[in-house]
Amino acid sequence: MVIVIMRLIQRVANGKWNELEEIDKKFNEIEDGIGYPPKKRYRSLSGAYDNNVVIVEREWQSLSKMEKLMTKAFLDPEFTKLEKKLESIIEWQKTELYVPHPAFPE
């Protein structure tokens, strides 16, 4: 089993940080109930992204575990309502997946 680091990178619209925080509290409740691993949140200070970018990282125990729990979330009606609310808050997003290197040490 190979761990997977998932990095969600989102650009928050100007003036929408407070709305994001309120929605994120609700996401946390749902995700915790489903069994999502803890997340770390970072705000861009310098580099490739401006300071309206938030980066959310999670360490999943495997791709299959990630898929199983994310599928549960996507099927949850409250989760999908929150996702819809993000449309006016998040201007763009991308997801990156990482594995340790080497992924399968000898």
**Per-residue pLDDT tens for 26-55?**
999 999 999 999 999 999 999 999 999 999
Q: In what side-by-side order are the strands of the sheet with 39-43?
A: 39-43, 53-60, 4-12, 90-98
* pTM of the predicted model as reported, rounded to 2 decimal places: 0.89
2 — pLDDT class (breaks 50, 70, 90): confident
Q: How far apart, in whole angstroms, are the C-alpha atoms of residue 74 and residue 97?
A: 19
Tell me what pLDDT residue 102 has.
Answer: 80
Q: Is the pLDDT confidence value at 104 over 80? A: no
**CATH of 4-97 given 3.75.10.10, 3.30.70.100, 1.10.287.3510, 3.40.30.10:** 3.30.70.100
Tell me what pLDDT residue 101 has.
Answer: 86
Q: How many CB atoms lie within 10 A of CB 9?
A: 18
Give 55-83 pLDDT, tens digit per residue: 999 999 999 999 999 999 999 999 999 99
Q: Is the pLDDT confidence value at 24 over 90? A: yes
